[in-house]
Amino acid sequence: MTDTNHATTLANRIHDRSVTVGIIGLGYVGLPLAMAFVEKGIRVLGFDVDPDKPAQLARGESYIKHLGSDRVAAMAGSGRFEATTDFLRLHEPDAILICVPTPLTPQRQPDMSYVEKSARQIKACLRPGQLVILESTTYPGTTDELLEGILEETGLRSGVDFFLAYSPEREDPGRRDFTTTTTPKVVGGVDPTAGDLAQALYDLIIARTVRVSTARVAEASKLTENIFRAVNIALVNELKMVYDRMGIDVWEVLDAAESKPFGFMRFNPGPGWGGHCIPLDPFYLAWKAREYGEAPKFIELAGDINVRMPHYVVQKLLLALNERGKALRGSRVLILGIAYKKDIDDPRESPAFEIIHLLLGLGAEVSYHDPHIPVAPHMRTWPHLPPMHSQRLTPETVRAADAVLIVTDHAAVDYQAVAEHAQLVVDTRGLVDPRRANTVRA
């Protein structure tokens, strides 16, 4: 087979929709992608290390709340989807999308172990003519350094025998106005041919693809999107702390500033940052920038401010209890919400877990209520937290707590009713009237 034929053959399979797509990681990124391809008539083979996920999907059950079981059941019954834990089958797909976690180490450096493991699993099965696309958030250079290096250990050549690209995921769980298929998708190849193939693949399911010149540009665009949010969240969080010292309500300030019809974009303060990207991206770029002799102090400062917020919240709680003649040690603290944002069941990197960790370390008795997360999952970043279950939110539960700490602003919770029954409310979301004698904003 000639060099040209590998790309041509794959392009033809994409064009006539006979391509098989493999997806590594069937979580908040991989599962919506799988559904999108299947719903467009494309065969998908999903891979996950968790044996429960393929079993649940085969039964038509959804383990991600905002992806309804009706869609999962339709996918399972389509005849075009299969999920497996057998990574030796990675030779079967024509295109392989990597959708695995890219967390931070305890030293806040990129943890590429999941991406590297996926690359080595692909390497063991790599055949000529396959397209490999990384979707996980990462630093510029991951695709054409780490991935390409591992895959070329096979003796196959990138851009000739196989093709390599990067297309950052843009999932926003719970969002209704933009979905996997209606959100524009950035695509960049290690070489132009890989970029062409990746763009053609996503054009099957995405309303608009945004082609960039290289995989590195695509990687940098993902970081830029989320660093923008991280910096602005840090700004309002710092303003919250400054204005609090001045006796000024930051939420009232933001309401007033938002009345300007130009030149201002509102971001709200909170108990910290959360989600699968925003808490990671500033540190990924800062780490990579040092290789080039740069120290992005502005970005690192934003990260430091946001990391501090759970400590600030706990300090406000401690002081509020102290003013009421109570010690934090032995106090019963009810956390409202452990998802990282409102109205979803996604707890990834939620500041609630750091707050729980800090409170337990200070001797508090901690419970939580979250209408979307009945059982607190095991968290990689906080592996030693005890098992916890969501408590029923009743007037008795609220009255029994020495303090109720609002972390996530779920619409299903009646916060005014909570404030009516609570001994103390510590409000990190600006939901309860701060003029109430039992309410402290944090």
- Model confidence pLDDT, tens digit, residues 275-313: 766 777 788 888 888 889 998 888 889 888 999 999 999
Angle between helices 297-323 and 215-245 (to 10 degrees): 40
**1 — pLDDT class (breaks 50, 70, 90):** very low
Per the structure, the count of domains in the chain is 2
**177 — pLDDT class (breaks 50, 70, 90):** confident
CA angle 384, 286, 264 (to 5 degrees): 100
The two three-digit tokens of residue 326, written as one number? 């109570």
Same domain, 289 and 149: no
- Domain containing 304 equals 229-441
Same domain, 249 and 275: yes
Q: What percent of the chain has pLDDT over 90?
A: 82
CA nearest neighbour of 277 among 215, 328, 230, 213: 230
pLDDT over threshold 60, residue 59: yes
What pLDDT is stored for residue 148 in this prediction?
97
Lowest mean pLDDT, pick from 5-19, 41-55, 142-156, 278-292: 278-292
Same domain, 194 and 246: no
What pLDDT is stored for residue 303 in this prediction?
87
Distance between CA 399 and CA 402 in Å, rounded? 8
What pLDDT digit, counting tens, does each position of 351-392 carry?
999 999 999 999 999 999 999 999 998 888 888 999 999 999
Distance between CA 118 and CA 26 in Å, rounded? 13
Average model confidence (pLDDT) across the chain? 94
Same domain, 404 and 266: yes
Domain end marker among 183, 213, 243: 213
Amino acid at 244: D
Going by C-beta distance under 8 Å and a sequence separation of 6 or more, which residues neighbour residue 286?
A: 295, 296, 299, 300, 303
pLDDT over threshold 70, residue 146: yes
The two three-digit tokens of residue 358, written as one number? 């800090």
Determine contact, residues 237/306, Cβ cutoff 8 Å. Answer: yes
- In-domain check, residue 223: no
Same domain, 163 and 286: no
Residues with catalytic annotation?
Answer: 277
Same domain, 168 and 234: no
Same domain, 200 and 236: no
Same domain, 192 and 313: no
What pLDDT is stored for residue 2 in this prediction?
40
- In-domain check, residue 289: yes
Compute the average pLDDT of residues 92-101. 97
DSSP H helical segments within 273-430, as ranges?
A: 281-290, 297-323, 351-361, 395-400, 415-421
CATH of the domain at 343: 3.40.50.720
